[in-house]
């Protein structure tokens, strides 16, 4: 292999290793949230990244979970300052926020249907994978 070929290979390996080292994740939990007003959204406490590890990083995927009492149903969205996405189930993974900044807080937003009884949502958690 020519000398320039070795340099190119070394550069590719360095970039690949740097990319692997740059990937990371943060986990945040929020306390239980009481949802009691029909037709009006209730936001959870902000779910914030810890430390500066997500600085200058972009979201790759988000894993979420929350728990509702048996028989309860809510409209639920996960919100980033740049926008919100609907969450169809109490747990899952999404790539819908991919490319957005990973160093900002997220929040759950809940809404009751008209005539629905108040609900307490618990075990709110996100895992943000970033690169």
Report the distance separating Cα 32 and Cα 80, nearest Å. 19
- 20 occurs within a structural domain: no
> Could you write out the DSSP letters of every residue in 86-114?
E--SSEEEE-TTTTSBSSS-BEEEEEBPT
Q: Between 56 and 130, where is the model more confident?
A: 130
DSSP state of 44: P
Report the distance separating Cα 112 and Cα 105, nearest Å. 24
Which helix (DSSP H) or strand (DSSP E) does residue 6 occupy? helix 3-22
- Domain hosting 86: range is 25-130
- 14 occurs within a structural domain: no
pLDDT tens digits, one per residue of 44-94: 999 999 876 778 899 999 999 999 999 898 999 999 999 999 999 999 999
**Number of domains the chain contains:** 1
- 19 occurs within a structural domain: no
pLDDT tens digits, one per residue of 17-33: 344 445 899 999 999 99
- 6 occurs within a structural domain: no
Report the distance separating Cα 48 and Cα 57, nearest Å. 14
- 74 occurs within a structural domain: yes
Query: Are residues 44 and 67 in contact, defined by beta-carbon separation less than 8 angstroms?
Result: no
The whole-number pLDDT of residue 23 equals 84
- CATH number, domain containing residue 66: 2.60.120.260
> Could you write out the DSSP letters of every residue in 45-74?
PPB---TTTTTT-BEEEEEEEEE--TT---
């Amino acid at each position: 292999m020519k000398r320039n070929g070795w340099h190119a290979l070394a550069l590719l390996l360095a970039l690949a290793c740097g990319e692997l080292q740059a990937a990371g994740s943060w986990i945040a939990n929020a306390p239980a949230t009481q949802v009691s007003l029909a037709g009006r959204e209730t936001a959870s406490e902000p779910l914030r990244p810890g430390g500066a590890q997500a600085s200058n990083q972009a979201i790759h995927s988000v894993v979420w979970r929350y728990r509702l009492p048996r028989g309860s149903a809510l409209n639920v969205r996960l919100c980033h300052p740049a926008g919100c996405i609907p969450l169809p189930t109490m747990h899952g993974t999404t790539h819908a926020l991919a490319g957005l900044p990973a160093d900002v807080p997220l929040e759950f937003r809940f809404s009751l249907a008209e005539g629905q009884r108040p609900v307490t949502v618990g075990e709110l958690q996100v895992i943000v994978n970033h690169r």
